[in-house]
Amino acid sequence: MSTESMSELGQQLRVDSVRCSAAAGSGHPTSSMSAADLMAVLLDGGFLQMDTDDLGNPANDHLIFSKGHASPLYYAVLKAAGIIDDAELLTFRKLDSRLEGHPTPRIPPTDVATGSLGQGLPIAVGVALAGAKLDRLPYRVWCLCGDSEMAEGSIWEAFEHAAFNGLDNLTAIIDVNRLGQTRETMVGWDLDRYVHRAEAFGWNAIAIDGHDVDAIAFAFGEAVATTGKPTVIVAQTKKGKGVRAVEDQPGKHGKPLDDAEAAIAELGGERELEVRIAAPEAGEPHVFSASGGELPTWELGDEEATRKAYGAALTALGAMRGDVVALDGEVSNSTHSEMFREAHEERYFEMFIAEQQMVAAAVGMQVRGWVPFASTFAAFLSRAYDFVRMAAVSQADIRLSGSHAGVSIGEDGPSQMALEDIASFRAINGSTVLHPSDANQTAKLVAAMADRKGISFIRTLRGKTEVRTPPDEDVAIGGSRVVRDGDDIAIVACGITVDQAFAAAETLAGEGIDARVIDAYSVKPIDAETLRSAARDCGAIVTVEDHAPEGGLGDAVLEALAEADDRPPVRKLAVRGVPTSGTPDELLHWAGIDADGIADAVRSMVRERVG
């Protein structure tokens, strides 16, 4: 490491950013050039510690590009570190290349996908939490942020949580190149404003010239030496640095340089520097001992809220497995994750009212192999929807529990009622959507989620429901249960509406209508076979859900039967209109999804078939 070698490496990173963007015909070279010196010092200065021969080494540092559009720089870094070769660098943005337009885990050692701004830093907080509190290893998390993304509120959630948790293993680097996509940012080059904000949020903050490699090295050194709090390096830079045609110019965002060859020449031409990245000291992650035990069960006929069964099951799972961790958005006495906190305090993370940071932390923890379950009201998981969307792109394995589903919560009113959650989670690639109707189902599904890949979501109820599932009955993702047999019509329900459907079926039996009741506790994947049998045996289907009519259980049933041999008419009962306050019973009735509403729908469909 010398001033000259770091500067030379910075130029190489610029040249390679220009080259791969030119080869792709698209990309963000100018946003890469501003941060090139920062990354050159991180590598050549020996600050980043990573075993490039073993990218899965648990002792490795983590490097997260929160400004994912600076992917040309990221890939140039990987080349300089010997992780990819020049030929692969030039496959940037092409089909089948591991080097996508924005980084994804398809190219190791990339932990997570970035490109939706403001997400990398909150995820970095999650990785740093894992390092400090779970793995208990000294690895560092380095996170490169753009200045435009400092306008995202999620960034400030991350600042608060990192300081609150004393994460001195986290270093954020803000590339203050002043220029956003169309104009100057709100802060521009007023570095002091970033410094004051960061300090007010409890960080150590260092303002530097982001093109002065010695200053950068000094700042990184201070970051490493600072204990008890995270450090942010606020680096004044120039977008497009080093090439007059684009340097600090507006209108040069997100496009290759007009004359790449001239730019490369101006930058001093191609270089073939390869940096031997410093390897970390060996270390093994901490393992939490499992005390054993088994999942809780409830007796048939017991009354219990599925949210409480969630808490009990998660707590038992935490005793059975040392890798399970829990996070909550400061409603742990509502979601009942408090039971886990009481039993496994070291593996519980209070994320306060910051749902974006909560989901991001879960994503960060699973990067290191932990098995996170994050809970809040299902309605408030919508706050983190972009994080869930991106978690799927990251191929992350996270488990989310949303309580207080639907109008059945009652008096608190519509702001607290999840009515769009099944639809939004179903649309996430590779997701699992579960909505158990009783405590025994809940416990078994929670256990199944721990081994599930991708995004799993379990929706729980505020009120108690009767336990109808025998403790020893098989309950599995993709399954369902036939609560009541019958061949005249099938009623497909889930969650709170199972009780209502059963009651309706009992009433209808007295009228000579024999209704089959199916509890579709696994909404995605749904038990298509059971539904197709019902379609074959019964002349009509009623679906009933405490959810909006679109994208929920009803649509899942229609999808399962879309190409089936038997396609009876399907009537979807769901919540239409904005609910108000009221008792759970009043609101279920208002929505037409109580036993009365179901029975009416069945009668009407049976009449139509006869008529």
214: which 2 tokens? Answer: 């010695």
Nearest distance in Å: CB 355, a second copy: 8
Nearest distance in Å: CB 300, a second copy: 31
C-alpha closest to that of 198 among 210, 207, 189, 211: 207
Q: Are strands 231-236 and 170-176 parallel, antiparallel or unpaired?
A: parallel
Determine the distance from the C-alpha atom of residue 60 to the mean position of all C-alpha atoms in its chain, rounded to a whole number: 23
Q: Which residues lie closer than 8 Å to 401 by C-beta, 6 or more apart?
A: 310, 314, 335, 337, 373, 374, 375, 457, 458, 460
Question: Which residue among the candidates 100, 266, 338, 355 is catalytic per the annotation?
Answer: 355
194: which 2 tokens? Answer: 């970033």
Nearest distance in Å: CB 430, a second copy: 7
Nearer to a second copy, 196 or 244 (CB): 196
Q: What is the DSSP letter of 133?
A: I
Nearest distance in Å: CB 451, a second copy: 21
Which amino acid, residue 1? M
- At CA 564, angle to CA 558 and CA 566, rounded to 5? 95
Nearer to a second copy, 275 or 428 (CB): 428
Nearest distance in Å: CB 492, a second copy: 12
- At CA 141, angle to CA 402 and CA 70, rounded to 5? 90
419: which 2 tokens? Answer: 């009515």
Nearer to a second copy, 196 or 286 (CB): 196
CA pair distance 506, 569, nearest whole angstrom: 22
Decide if 420 is catalytic.
no
Nearer to a second copy, 71 or 480 (CB): 71
Buried b (16+ CB within 10 A) or exposed e, 326-340: bbbbebbebbbbbbb
Nearest distance in Å: CB 102, a second copy: 5
C-alpha closest to that of 594 among 604, 583, 585, 606: 585
CA pair distance 13, 349, nearest whole angstrom: 38
Helix (H) or strand (E) holding 541: strand 541-544
DSSP helix/strand/coil, 127 = helix
335: which 2 tokens? Answer: 């979601």
Neighbouring CB atoms inside 10 A of 539's CB total 17
Q: Which residues lie closer than 8 Å to 123 by C-beta, 6 or more apart?
A: 64, 111, 112, 114, 360, 361, 363, 364, 367
CA 459 to each of CA 61, 381, 496: distance values in angstroms, whole numbers, following the listed order: 36, 11, 11
Determine the distance from the C-alpha atom of residue 152 to the mean position of all C-alpha atoms in its chain, rounded to a whole number: 16
CA pair distance 102, 65, nearest whole angstrom: 9
R_g of the chain, CA atoms, integer Å: 27
Nearer to a second copy, 37 or 157 (CB): 157
Nearer to a second copy, 286 or 609 (CB): 609
CA pair distance 400, 391, nearest whole angstrom: 12
Q: Which residues lie closer than 8 Å to 287 by C-beta, 6 or more apart?
A: 322
Nearest distance in Å: CB 387, a second copy: 9
Nearest distance in Å: CB 288, a second copy: 23
Nearer to a second copy, 211 or 426 (CB): 426
Nearer to a second copy, 116 or 460 (CB): 116
Nearer to a second copy, 15 or 331 (CB): 331
CA pair distance 77, 107, nearest whole angstrom: 13
Nearest distance in Å: CB 197, a second copy: 4
Task: Give the residue numbers annotated as catalytic, written as ranges.
Answer: 355
